[in-house]
Chain A
Amino acid sequence: MNTHPPLLSVSNLKSGYFTRHGTISAVDGVSFDLHRGHMVGIVGESGSGKSTLALSLLGLLERPGRVVEGEIRFAGKNLRALNEKEWRAVRGRRIGMIFQSPESSFNPLATLGQQMCEALMTHQGLSQASAREKAERALAMVGMPQPKEILKSHAFELSGGMCQRAALGLALSLNPALLLADEPTASLDVLAREEMIGLFKEMKKRLNLSMVIISHDLGLIGKLAERTLVMYAGKIVEAGPTWQVLGTPRHPYTRGLLACQPCLDLEPQPIPAMTGVPPSLGKQVTGCRFAPRCRWAGSRCMSDDAFQLRPVLANHHVACVKSEGRDDVF
């Protein structure tokens, strides 16, 4: 067990979007810890609240969305108490973030060099020349072949994989303690994805990097994260060590997600799609929110506490009434 206090500790975080047509609770009481040098993976379908969670962690949720409740402790500080100015000293400098679509990480009108230098000059007070040098080193570190040339290019002149590398290089050049990655491989081709995974592994080892990876790509999570959280309808439905969650999933939703993964090693066979769609998050529902799509749903699933996380093993929690105590229910 880790005796140090966690680097990031999220407890009972609730974020929602407040519109004229009602309130949407996109993140509904999420808690997890992340220790230094570790990676936690958050998986779930589109609309499960993963990206809202990531934006909440960096205080980037914009009107009509906002964080409603809960605590985000990062390196001993409560991030929810920060004002905009204090946030700017955290964003980029202490917590870096990379996004899904690599080209849209960069200003289309400026070169990568201008943008990397500007971040380095803002956060580390470097001169133009030393910022440029440091940017070159950061690009070289993430495996860019000709950093000098890359710094002179615009994002649209690079491939998606190159852009994502550059975005990672920019984030890491500021030496953040924590990196948030929101679907970092979703828009990359298979080769670029493999390269990114290798790069994340290397950076983790070299820089003792802590990461929150948000993805619906279970393969990516399986290769990188020590712990995996499965999100559904704004809540965590299963949390545990990655090998347990992906190896012996307890929640029917996690099983459904795993069943949808194409497997290249076996004979080609039809991929079973999960039926139904995630519920709309506007209305309050009692009982298990996955029950309408679950083929094992029964009367007990409608009880008020059916969607609460409960321990099934040490370190492994599942929000399913049928998972309690036994693991051969399904």
Chain B
Amino acid sequence: MLGIIPQLMLLSILAFLIMKVAPGDPVASLVGGREFMTEADYQRVSRNLGLDRPVLVQYGIWFENILNGDWGRSIADGREIRGIVLEGLRVTLVLVGFSWLTITLLAIGAGYWAGTRAHSWPDYVISTLALVSFATPAFWLGLILILIFSVRLEWLPSAGQSTLGREGGLADQAAHLVLPVMTIVLTHVGPCIRLVRGSVRDVLSADFFRAARARGLARTTLILRYLLPNALTPFITWAGFSFPLLVGGIFIVEWVFGWPGIGRLFLQAAISRNYPLLMAVVLVTGVLVIIGNLVADLLVAWLNPKLRRGHGR
């Protein structure tokens, strides 16, 4: 548990260094380019933002502030970063939560179905679709879906999380969720289906499963007590790990659909060299990844009696 703190410090140092090494200038991007401001103005703004100090001092100031709970203010508009990032996180979690839930249900359903019918044509169809899904880039699929469902058919909205002036309507928000969730699910569900299919096949050919069949147990007992618990353990572990990765990994989808989440914040901050915002986003994502791994570890330990007993003795 305490290992988290050095991990986060290392992460913040690395992020800070990479940011500083990368080309680009936050002051210039405030007005759209160096040529639009006088040298005196440039020096003044840099000094106000503390950007004229040595890099190490800049990091030290940032670090001290973060320890005091001060996340700083956005260079671009001077708003409190804490509020921006937490709101972005909330919005992203809504999107990722729905996507993740759909992926899990689909993976278990389709993976089980394909695994119990290995090498039949439905299995081949599902496996092929899974591979196609794996190979499809999210930004491309997102644009195609917008083209079909928003532009041509005009069934679904293409951007944002609600229609302006109708915020709070549940149906409206759900409609805005459909296309981005569909994009994330279709591009991420493939490997999950393959994983579940593989472990279902493993259990079906396992000695203990044959032994259970030799005991003449009912079909439902075999499926619910033998097949599923054993076949889903690897997937549940993976799902635990993948949740925070999704949070960091869907920024393209958020960008395409104008979803005001943390991924889009990251892209905006990176483009305008909004250092404090960038640092906050990296840190929050890092915390999520670490928590996700922790939860996954706990889940595995809880599911696997071997590990569960290991701690008790």
Contact = CB atoms under 8 A, between A and B. Distances in A.
B221 A118 contact: yes
B230 interface: yes
Contact of A123 (B211, B213, B216, B230): B216
12 contacts: A89-B216, A97-B211, A104-B207, A104-B211, A105-B211, A108-B306, A109-B304, A111-B305, A118-B225, A119-B217, A122-B216, A154-B305
Nearest to A101: B207
Which 4 pairs show the lowest CB-CB distances between chains A and B? Answer: A91-B216, A104-B207, A92-B216, A92-B215
Contacts of B135: none
B25 to A, nearest CB: 57
A111 B207 CA distance: 17
A107 interface: yes
Nearest to A91: B216
B214 A60 contact: yes
A223 to B, nearest CB: 25
* Residue among A58, A89, A107 with most chain B CB within 10 A: A107
Interface in A38-93: 58, 60, 87-93
Interface residues of B, number: 23
Nearest to A167: B211
Interface string B192-226: 00000000000000111011111111100100011
Given A58-B214, A99-B211, A119-B215, 20 more contacts: A60-B214, A88-B217, A88-B218, A97-B214, A99-B214, A104-B206, A104-B208, A104-B211, A106-B208, A107-B226, A108-B208, A108-B306, A110-B225, A111-B305, A122-B217, A122-B221, A154-B306, A154-B309, A170-B215, A174-B215
Contacts of B218: 88, 122
Contacts of A32: none
Contact of A109 (B207, B217, B229, B309): B229
Contacts of A167: 211
A156 interface: yes
* Residue among A58, A89, A90 with most chain B CB within 10 A: A58
B305 A109 contact: yes
Interface string B212-252: 11111110010001100110010000000000000000000
B210 A60 contact: yes
Contacts, number: 78
Size category of the binding interface on chain A: 20 to 34
B303 interface: yes
Contacts of A119: 215-217
A88 B229 contact: no
Contacts of B229: 107, 109-110
A123 B216 CA distance: 8
B220 to A, nearest CB: 11
Contacts of B207: 99, 101, 104-105
A234 B266 CA distance: 67
Contacts of B214: 58, 60, 91-92, 96-97, 99
Nearest to B119: A63
A24 to B, nearest CB: 17
